[in-house]
């Protein structure tokens, strides 16, 4: 009798292990179909979506960032879309802090949360965490800004390409602020990426794989759709903010050059397509280095759901 009482006491007061929580990352280059797949998975697993697309954070930048439309947003709750003004500075470190706090909240009710986006640094911030960034060298930054003002973005591109070819292959090559920061760090001998912080959740990374020619066709078609949907007007409404870091973005910079009379409209649109393809190539270079990513075709939705269900021991009836 005493043994039964002791067992009963243990069952009541001994803490059982917490159930594992899973973050499902849907990754891939621009125009690969991340949004559609993420929404379908969020509906299937009755959960919510964390966006890791750093340009979709900003209001008024809708068409140029291929932001989910109001109908898509109604299908599944999204976090970190449309929550910043273009004038606001928001770093990957800020995102790491905020998104981990949000995940802690979501995992109180959900066993699975979806995250998606093509911004590799922000994905890393969410999953692994970031190294402590060194303080900016103000004297060096002032020199770089002067060089940029005198010689244009090509100077920064060539500087980084010569200093750090590996970084050059991965960076947004049309973003002068990121180029200058990368040059600063390269000149100071700083290399990031060694940190891997402990997380309270397990991660499953799924990449959407396309043959390169098909992906490039999808990118070209997406740009045509953006133009048809009013990208030029959106860019005109943001033109007065063209100096901001948030607007150093493919799809806007090319139109700003057109508005400044540096090129004609046809040339600007061709450049958007070219720069988008270049960006997709850099995204793939970043993601292909990650051996944890399980690559699947966009059409393999049933297989992806099955993979997640088996790995997460998910029961829809639970």
Which residues on adjacent β-strands are paired with residue 207?
A: 27, 295
Residue 205 has a pLDDT of: 97
Contact 84, 103 (CB under 8 A): no
In degrees, to the nearest 5, what angle opens at C-alpha 79 toward C-alphas 76 and 85?
A: 130
Backbone angles phi, psi at 237, to 5 degrees: -70, -20
Model's pTM, two decimal places? 0.82
Q: Are 248 and 175 in contact (CB under 8 A)?
A: yes
Query: From CA 37, how far away is CA 117, in angstroms rounded?
Result: 11
Residue 23: helix, strand or coil by DSSP?
Answer: strand
In DSSP terms, 203 is beta-bridged to 23
> 266 CB contacts (<8 Å, ≥6 apart)?
none
Q: How far apart are CA 179 and CA 169, in angstroms?
A: 12
Residue 83 neighbours by CB distance under 10 Å: 14
User: What pLDDT, on a 0 to 100 scale, did the predictor assign at position 15?
Assistant: 47
Q: CA 26, 30, 36, 41: dihedral to nearest 10 degrees? A: 0
What is the tens place of the pLDDT at every residue in 101-126? 999 999 999 999 999 998 888 999 99
Measured CA to CA, the distance from residue 197 to residue 126 in angstroms comes to 10
Q: Where are the domains of the chain?
A: 18-133+192-312, 138-187
DSSP letter assigned to residue 298: T
- Tokens in use for 220? 């070209």
d(CA 70, CA 15): 43
User: Which residues, listed in sequence order, are joined to residue 112 by a DSSP beta bridge?
Assistant: 22
- DSSP label of 244: S
Report the distance separating Cα 246 and Cα 110, nearest Å: 32
Both tokens of residue 215?
């992906």
Let me know: does 23 contact 205? Beta carbons within 8 Å.
no
Which residue is listed with tokens 């700003």? 256
pLDDT at 155: 85
Cα(293)–Cα(307) distance, rounded to whole angstroms? Answer: 13
The pLDDT of residue 315: 73
The DSSP call for residue 169 is: H
Level-2 CATH architecture, domain 18-133+192-312: 3-Layer(aba) Sandwich (3.40)
Average pLDDT per 10 consecutive residues for the chain, totaling 318 residues: 53 57 97 97 98 96 96 97 94 93 97 94 91 70 82 85 78 77 76 74 97 97 98 98 92 97 98 96 91 95 96 77
Give CA–CA dist 314/318, Å, rounded: 8
Could you tell me which residues are beta bridge partners of residue 26? 116, 206
- Chain centroid to CA 61: how far? 15
In this structure, are residues 65 and 56 in contact, taking their beta carbons and an 8 Å threshold? yes
Q: Name beta bridge partners: 51.
A: 116
Question: Rounded distance, CA 169 to CA 164, Å?
Answer: 9
């Amino acid at each position: 009798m005493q043994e039964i009482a002791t067992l009963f006491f243990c069952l009541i007061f001994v803490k059982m292990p917490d159930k594992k929580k899973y973050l499902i990352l849907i990754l891939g280059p621009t125009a690969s179909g991340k949004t559609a797949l993420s929404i379908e998975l969020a509906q299937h697993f009755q959960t919510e979506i964390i966006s890791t697309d750093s340009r979709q954070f900003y209001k008024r930048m809708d068409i140029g960032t291929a932001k989910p439309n109001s109908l898509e947003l109604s299908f599944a709750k999204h976090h970190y879309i449309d929550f910043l003004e273009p004038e606001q500075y928001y770093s990957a470190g800020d995102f790491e802090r905020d998104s981990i706090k949000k995940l802690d909240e979501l995992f109180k009710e959900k066993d699975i949360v979806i995250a998606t986006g093509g911004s590799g640094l922000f994905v890393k911030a969410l999953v692994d965490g970031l190294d402590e960034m060194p303080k900016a060298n103000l004297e060096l930054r002032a020199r770089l800004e002067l060089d940029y003002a005198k010689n244009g973005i090509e100077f920064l591109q060539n500087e980084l390409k010569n200093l750090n070819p590996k970084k050059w292959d991965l960076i947004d090559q049309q973003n002068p602020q990121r180029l200058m920061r990368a040059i600063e760090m390269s000149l100071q001998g700083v290399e990031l990426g060694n940190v891997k912080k402990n997380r309270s959740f397990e991660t499953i990374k799924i990449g959407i794989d396309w043959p390169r020619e098909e992906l490039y066709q999808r990118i070209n078609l997406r740009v045509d759709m953006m133009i048809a949907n009013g990208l030029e007007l959106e860019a005109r409404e943001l033109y007065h903010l063209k100096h901001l870091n948030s607007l150093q973005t493919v799809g806007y910079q090319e139109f700003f050059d057109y508005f400044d009379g540096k090129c004609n409209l046809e040339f600007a649109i061709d450049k958007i397509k070219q720069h988008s393809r270049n960006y997709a190539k850099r995204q793939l270079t970043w993601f292909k280095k990650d051996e944890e990513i399980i690559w699947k075709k966009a059409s393999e939705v049933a297989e992806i759901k099955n993979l997640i269900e088996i790995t997460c021991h998910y029961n829809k009836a639970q």
